[in-house]
Amino acid sequence: MKVIVIGGGPAGILAAIFAARKGDEVVLLEKNEKLGKKLFITGKGRCNITNACDIEDLFSNIVSNHKFMYSSFYSFSNYDIIKFFEELGLKTKVERGNRVFPCSDKSSDVISALNKELNRLKVSVHLNSEVTKIKTKDNKFIGVEYREIKKDEKSYKDKETLNHKHTSKGTGDTYDYNVIHGDKLIIATGGISYPVTGSTGDGYRFARNLGHNVTKTYPSLVPFNIKESHIIKELQGLSLKNIEVKIYLEKREIYKEFGELLFTHFGVSGPVILSASSFCTTYLPDKELLLKIDLKPSLSFEQLDDRILRDFSSVSNKQFKNSLDKLLPRKLIPVIIKLSNINPEKQVNAITREERQELVSLIKGLELHIISTRDYKEAIITQGGVDIRQINPSTMESKLVSGVYFAGEVLDIDGLTGGYNLQVAWSTGYLAGNE
């Protein structure tokens, strides 16, 4: 069987490897100049390969359509991908939150291990090769048309390849177009997040042309823009650990989590915010969301009130503006003082009980308003994609066109941070390739 894989990311590479391992002839087409371009930047360049949680916990960390992943995760689990890389000679380690990384802390080592296996299996890899059309006959896949982006790269030529010329409209540029015939196609083109890595939505176009539905897409695992720019400007660069955030749509709580938050020049980011975006992005920008930050979640209202009272008692003659050094980060203090509506020059022994309790309420619930997410250029993944109702979850094959399979982020499946989205790519890629 001849298998054509579109996309040289994690899902596409793994699909190509397992198809080749079972004896198929495999052609991998990637429009970038190298494989794994997005994989290279994951985990801040360290590559968070997967998460070493119990397999049941994988499902709870998939936000969209987790039930669809049952066959994929049980066929090729997080422990299977760890074993896979160990067998390729890549040692791994487990860090905080069960995140799995290569021991070298280099994503390039992950890509190198995958490349070596592709070479060992004699997978025919074509870089700078952009697929332009998928060919079908009688509702069955028969081949793809692609063009070579680099002019100095030789065209793919074999007995099943046809070369012809095509002139790009409005430019006068002439490109060589090639047609490769095959028995099976795996579409693993990713979403539209980080478009600089080549994720430009090609798979959605292919899917639609084949008759598939594509659900509405959103940037996900992405920072938020905040309405109160004057506050954000003062807090830019401040990182807060061990805080709790709650997000409300009108008066309904839609997200709650404990973790780390970072103030940026436009709003908020950090792990707890990126995860929040998975649950909030569909409401934005049509709705405005309320973000409440509990700066001291380990203390109850009464405990924090007692703590502040003790702090005030020890510096009773100090001005209010100089009394919060032991309680809050230095950069946060001017903002809290301003929002408290307590005169900053007032001596703490003159602050009333009501004023102090208003201060407690502010620290336990600093309010900001989320007006939108950042765009796809800053999103780790795409939420939405090829409608999974038209995909066989046991094989990843299209229910509409025989011989066409989908894998990875192109599907309407997304997870939280921590290696879960890469596991989706590995598991679906394995099923599509191994079928």
Q: How do residues 289-328 score in pLDDT, each as one tens digit? A: 999 999 999 999 999 999 999 999 999 889 999 999 999 9
Tell me the mean pLDDT in the region 44-52.
Answer: 96
- How high is the pLDDT of residue 241? 96
What average pLDDT is seen over the chain? 93
In a 10 Å sphere around its CB, with 0-12 CB exposed, 13-18 middle and 19+ buried, how is residue 391 labelled?
Answer: buried
Confidence of residue 175 (pLDDT cuts 50, 70, 90): low
Is the alpha carbon torsion for 208, 210, 212, 217 positive or negative? negative
- How high is the pLDDT of residue 196? 83
Q: Is the pLDDT of residue 49 over 60?
A: yes
Tell me the mean pLDDT in the region 416-430.
Answer: 97
Q: Please state, in angstroms and as integers, the Cα–Cα distance from residue 403 to each residue in 161, 162, 186, 223, following that order.
A: 19, 21, 8, 38
Q: Is the pLDDT of residue 396 over 50?
A: yes
pTM for this one? 0.90
Confidence of residue 170 (pLDDT cuts 50, 70, 90): very low
- How high is the pLDDT of residue 249? 97
For residues 121 and 306, give the distance between their C-alpha atoms in angstroms, rounded to a whole number.
Answer: 67
Q: How do residues 204-259 score in pLDDT, each as one tens digit? A: 999 999 999 999 999 999 999 999 999 999 999 999 999 999 999 999 999 999 99
As given in the structure block, the two tokens for residue 269 are: 């980011």
- How high is the pLDDT of residue 151? 55
Tell me the mean pLDDT in the region 318-342.
Answer: 95
For residues 215 and 200, give the distance between their C-alpha atoms in angstroms, rounded to a whole number.
Answer: 16
Q: Is the pLDDT of residue 186 over 90?
A: yes
Q: For the ranges 74-83, 158-167, 188-197, 283-292, which has the lowest average pLDDT? A: 158-167
Q: How do residues 112-167 score in pLDDT, each as one tens digit? A: 999 999 999 999 999 999 999 999 999 999 999 999 986 544 433 333 333 444 44
In a 10 Å sphere around its CB, with 0-12 CB exposed, 13-18 middle and 19+ buried, how is residue 369 labelled?
Answer: middle
- How high is the pLDDT of residue 150? 62
Confidence of residue 177 (pLDDT cuts 50, 70, 90): confident
